[in-house]
Amino acid sequence: MYLDHAATTPISAPALAALTSVISRSGNPSSLHGAGRRARATVEASRETIAAAAGAHSTEVIFTSGGTEADNLAVKGLFWSRRDAEPQRTRILVSSVEHAAVQDTVEWLQKHEGAHAVWLPVDANGTVNLAALEAELADGGADSVALISCMWANNEVGTIEPIAEIVALAAAHGIPVHSDAVQAFGSVPVNFKDSGLAAMSISAHKIGGPVGVGALLLGRAVRLTPVQHGGGQERTVRSGTLDTAGIAAFAAAAQDVTGNLAAESQRIAGLRDAIIAAVRAAVPDAVLRGTDPALDPDGRLPGNAHFTFPGCEGDSLLFLLDMAGVESSTGSACTAGVPRPSHVLLAMGLDEDTARGAQRFSLGHTSTPADVDAFVAALPQAHARAKTAGMAAHVSSIQTASTR
Amino acid sequence: MRVLAAMSGGVDSAVAAARAVDAGHDVVGVHLALSRMPGTLRTGSRGCCTVEDSNDAWRACDKLGIPYYVWDFSERFKEDVVQDFIDEYAAGRTPNPCMRCNERIKFAALLEKAIALGFDAVCTGHYAKVITDADGNPELHRAADWAKDQSYVLGVLTHEQLKHSMFPLADTPSKAEVRAEAEARGLSVAKKPDSHDICFIPDGDTAGWLAEKIEMSDGEILDETGTKVGGHTGSNQFTVGQRRGLKLGTPAADGKPRFVLEIRPKENKVIVGPHALLAIDEIKGIKVSWAGLPITEVATGAEFDCYAQVRAHGDPVPARAFVTGVTADGVTRENLTVTLGEPLRGVAPGQTVVLYQGSRVLGQATIDAARSLARPELP
């Protein structure tokens, strides 16, 4: 039972159909002959579809190899172009709960490009502190800011951020705002034009498209220094031959998920709430992390349920559930396959031990009530064993020569 | 049985896991993350547990069709192995981190987690053998190939730990065979070099590493008559039997090389002397443990015949040993006295003495003191 749709989700039928039909045709969309024009027509039709799905103009769609590239392009490109125009603009205001694709990029700019990162604090739910942002912009503080970046929805705990308020605060000072909408697009209503954002990242494989393609929505008037140079494709912002088949599949997926958004998100939210209720019943001391949908229905991604389980290690839970056929995640990025306490949870105020007991369950278009039932059946035993194993990594009761 | 195969990313543990799978066990592979900041690529054969090692273990599990996980024991490793290493050197003793790792990490922390998660045994690529007697009690024995035998580093395991240990490489005639088997099984690690030396000091510069962790101060090097023959930058860098790195200003009267005989951390002095003075024939051991059920003489205190080995790949020497009970702070602990039939050289306090009878490991002790019965103490 797959409960890790936030990591990736199976390719949808329309996307697979588009992918397979287009991949067998050849043609470089940049070529000027018949074969090239046919490929280009496919790309441009896809561009229009994705633009419509995201509430943007088709010239605002810059195709990339995925969400990570879009984040890199936005953050680096905006920083470099702003700092080149006005050298005193070296500060980047960024939330402390970003995905590594934004966080690592900002850290790199700080280490190598003279940027000064200001990590905006979040509350216990993971919601960005607007007062802190306001304080950074006040009293001339805004004059040294190159850009602001805040994700639309958090990938670990599902909390939806106050993007409209952030944009309003930034707009008063003419500061561009970028948002990583990789988790939000296709899950909740996202409209690039209405948002007022300068740049917005989205990814195909989170919405039922293939891995390897994504887009940066980029305002027409926004100046961006390219990361990838070459043949000048995509408004010279992102050079490289376009993946015609991947883009066609991306468009099919985007149209599918935004077309059905209201009904599907309600369906998935129902399954999520069933999971939340089941966890609370089976493990009363488990704590739901991120905005509680019962208190704020629009404050959390419909498909995300995240808990911390006291006295358990997330990797033990993952292992036990995996053995029972339930596939979940500890929610945090891995180095060499070792889950580390999540920076998101730490920013939300949890201590390391509590953060270690985290587990994320996320639903998607293939999720059914049967998945929830299988999870509910597997959880009690998995949790019980994880709790027994819980302290083994820290305190050993096996007596040996050194301990007697 | 449900078996947890500990996989370092090396060829031995990969083949061991493969054999456990062939034997019909339900196997899951696990790589121990022992460093908070692992290197990306393996550079040479020093060091271990880089991301490359993890990936190698992962590929092996892919090939074997078994699940693969990485478990973080870096905190425990830092406390039980690395800190112990530092503390022992600071006390003027020579530690044995590989034994501590087997004792406290691989067959304790990992084993406990494994049992809690439903496993019956931990399997490793060590060259050693566990035999179960008629009553179901385990015995630890040398591997078939005594040249590769690693029973020494497992000598610290207890009865309880051995009951849950599995060493599939026990009867392999040679390392070459293991590599050939890895090749035949299509495991990418077939030609990977073995790692050696201390896994958490990848560049092999133990003295340099210790200098960063222990406050060292300049002191004197004296010879066996008490005469000053040189200086050092910290007595903790030395180990008994050491010959290299002494940098003595004054050559010996006979022109022959000098060796570290003793380290006196309290006075920050190092005593050196000729090779002949390294020879010892009595070892006193503390922190004793038995690899399985103790032989009857342990309880009676009677002297028994055995073979003593003080290095992982050193030759065992015939010996006689007996156990005494020593009470301190209201607790009675076993102490071991081993009298050697042939002298051994370079025996350092802090090292481990493992006792054998035939191919069987009886148990081990940490060397507290070593001396020559014929010679007086050094001035």
Query: Which residues on adjacent β-strands are paired with residue B33?
Result: B72
Are B258 and B357 part of one and the same domain?
no
Are B300 and B225 part of one and the same domain?
no
Nearest CA in chain B to A318: B69
Q: Per-residue pLDDT tens for B170-200?
A: 999 888 999 999 999 999 899 888 877 788 8
CATH number at residue B366: 2.40.30.10
Q: How far is CA B42 from CA A165, B39, B182, B201, in A?
A: 48, 7, 20, 13
Chain B positions in Cβ-Cβ contact with residue A402 (cut-off 8 Å): 84, 100, 103-104, 287
Non-local (6+) Cβ contacts of A8 within 8 A are A205, A206, A211
Nearest by CB to B33, from A320, A336, A388: name it.
A336
CA A253 to chain centre: 17
Judge whether B205 lies within some domain: no
Is B101 one of the catalytic residues?
Answer: yes
Indicate yes or no: CB of B103 within 8 angstroms of CB of A402.
yes
Domain boundary among B176, B191, B206: B191
Distance from CA of A124 to the nearest CA of B (A): 27
Judge whether B209 lies within some domain: no
Indicate yes or no: CB of A398 within 8 angstroms of CB of B364.
no
The average pLDDT across B235-239 equals 84
Indicate yes or no: CB of A400 within 8 angstroms of CB of B117.
no
Chain A positions in Cβ-Cβ contact with residue B289 (cut-off 8 Å): 400-401
Nearest by CB to A400, from B58, B116, B156: name it.
B156
Strand ranges (E), A7-90: 61-64
- State the DSSP string of A356-384: HTEEEEE--TT--HHHHHHHHHHHHHHHH
Are B304 and B362 part of one and the same domain?
yes
Map residue B356 onto helix, strand or coil.
strand
Sheet holding A304-308, edge to edge: A287-288, A304-308, A358-362
Cβ of B79 under 8 Å from any chain A Cβ?
A: no
Are B13 and B120 part of one and the same domain?
yes
Q: Per-residue pLDDT tens for B147-165?
A: 889 999 999 999 999 999 9
Q: Per-residue pLDDT tens for A51-87?
A: 999 999 999 999 999 999 999 999 999 999 999 999 9
Map residue A34 onto helix, strand or coil.
helix
Are B174 and B228 part of one and the same domain?
no
Q: What distance in Å separates the CA atoms of residue B241 and residue B238, rounded to the nearest whole number?
A: 9
Give the best residue of A312, A313, A342, A402 to mutate against chain B (max B CB count within 10 A): A402
Distance from CA of A263 to the nearest CA of B (A): 37
Nearest by CB to B118, from A385, A394, A399: name it.
A385
Q: Is the pLDDT of residue B207 over 90?
A: no
Q: Which of these, A261, A151, A243, A154, lies nearest to A204 by C-alpha position? A: A243
Q: What distance in Å separates the CA atoms of residue B199 and residue B205, rounded to the nearest whole number?
A: 12
Query: Which residues on adjacent β-strands are paired with residue B123?
Result: B5, B166
Q: Is the pLDDT of residue B228 over 70?
A: yes
Chain B positions in Cβ-Cβ contact with residue A396 (cut-off 8 Å): 76, 104, 108-109, 112
Query: Which residues on adjacent β-strands are paired with residue A57?
Result: none
Indicate yes or no: CB of B111 within 8 angstroms of CB of A398.
yes
Angle between helix axes A67-85 and A100-112 (nearest 10 degrees) is 30
Token pair listed for A260: 């059905």
Domain boundary among B253, B276, B299: B276
On the 0-12 / 13-18 / 19+ scale of CB atoms within 10 A, A33 is exposed
- Hunting for tokens 């996980």 — which residue is that? B69
Q: Which amino acid is at B143?
A: A
Are B55 and B105 part of one and the same domain?
yes
Nearest by CB to A319, from B117, B157, B160: name it.
B117
Counting as low any pLDDT under 70, the low residues of chain A are: 332-339, 391-396
Distance from CA of B227 to the nearest CA of A (A): 38
Chain B positions in Cβ-Cβ contact with residue A323 (cut-off 8 Å): 67, 118
Indicate yes or no: CB of A393 within 8 angstroms of CB of B108.
no
Domain of residue B23, residue span: 2-191
Q: Would you place residue B40 in the very low, low, confident or very high pLDDT band (cuts 50, 70, 90)?
A: low
Is B199 one of the catalytic residues?
Answer: yes
The average pLDDT across B40-48 equals 60
**Whole-prediction pTM value?**
0.85
User: What percentage of chain B reaches a pLDDT higher than 90?
Assistant: 61
Q: Which amino acid is at B264?
A: R
CA B47 to chain centre: 16
Are B342 and B286 part of one and the same domain?
yes
Q: What is the pLDDT of residue A395?
A: 66
Q: What is the mean pLDDT of chain B?
A: 90
What domains can you pick out in chain A, each with its CATH number? 13-258 (3.40.640.10), 261-390 (3.90.1150.10)
Query: DSSP code of A398?
Result: -
Number of domains in chain B: 3
CATH number at residue B57: 3.40.50.620
Give the best residue of A334, A356, A396 to mutate against chain B (max B CB count within 10 A): A396
Token pair listed for B122: 């931990």
Indicate yes or no: CB of B67 within 8 angstroms of CB of A322.
yes
Query: DSSP code of B46?
Result: B
Q: What distance in Å separates the CA atoms of residue B209 and residue B199, rounded to the nearest whole number?
A: 13
Are B99 and B222 part of one and the same domain?
no
- State the DSSP string of A313-338: -HHHHHHHHHHTT-B-B-SS-EETTE
Q: Per-residue pLDDT tens for B245-257?
A: 777 777 777 788 8
Chain B positions in Cβ-Cβ contact with residue A332 (cut-off 8 Å): none
Distance from CA of A379 to the nearest CA of B (A): 14
Are B70 and B164 part of one and the same domain?
yes
Q: What is the pLDDT of residue A136?
A: 97
Q: Which of these, A64, A1, A49, lies nearest to A366 by C-alpha position? A: A1
Non-local (6+) Cβ contacts of B286 within 8 A are B333, B335, B336, B365, B366, B368
Non-local (6+) Cβ contacts of B253 within 8 A are none
Secondary-structure breakdown of chain B: helix, strand, coil percentages, each rounded to the nearest 5: 30, 30, 40
Nearest CA in chain B to A404: B287
Q: What is the pLDDT of residue B47?
A: 56
Are B66 and B144 part of one and the same domain?
yes
CATH number at residue B224: 2.30.30.280
Indicate yes or no: CB of A336 within 8 angstroms of CB of B158.
no
Q: What distance in Å separates the CA atoms of residue A239 and residue A343, rounded to the nearest whole number?
A: 33
Judge whether B174 lies within some domain: yes
B 105-144 residues with CB < 8 A to A:
107-109, 111-113, 116-118
Judge whether B236 lies within some domain: yes
Chain A positions in Cβ-Cβ contact with residue B100 (cut-off 8 Å): 402
Are B13 and B152 part of one and the same domain?
yes
Chain B positions in Cβ-Cβ contact with residue A335 (cut-off 8 Å): 38, 51
Distance from CA of A327 to the nearest CA of B (A): 13
Judge whether B330 lies within some domain: yes
Are B109 and B187 part of one and the same domain?
yes
Q: Per-residue pLDDT tens for B283-324?
A: 999 999 999 999 999 999 999 999 999 999 888 999 999 999
Weakest mean pLDDT among A378-387, B215-224, B279-288, B363-372: B215-224
Q: What is the pLDDT of residue A209?
A: 97
Phi, psi of B147 (to 5 degrees): -70, -35
Judge whether B156 lies within some domain: yes
Nearest by CB to B113, from A334, A392, A402: name it.
A392
Nearest CA in chain A to B287: A401
Judge whether B346 lies within some domain: yes
Catalytic residue among A334, A391, A392, A393: A334
Token pair listed for B27: 């196997």
Judge whether B376 lies within some domain: no
Helix intervals (H) in B239-334: 296-300
Nearest CA in chain B to A314: B71
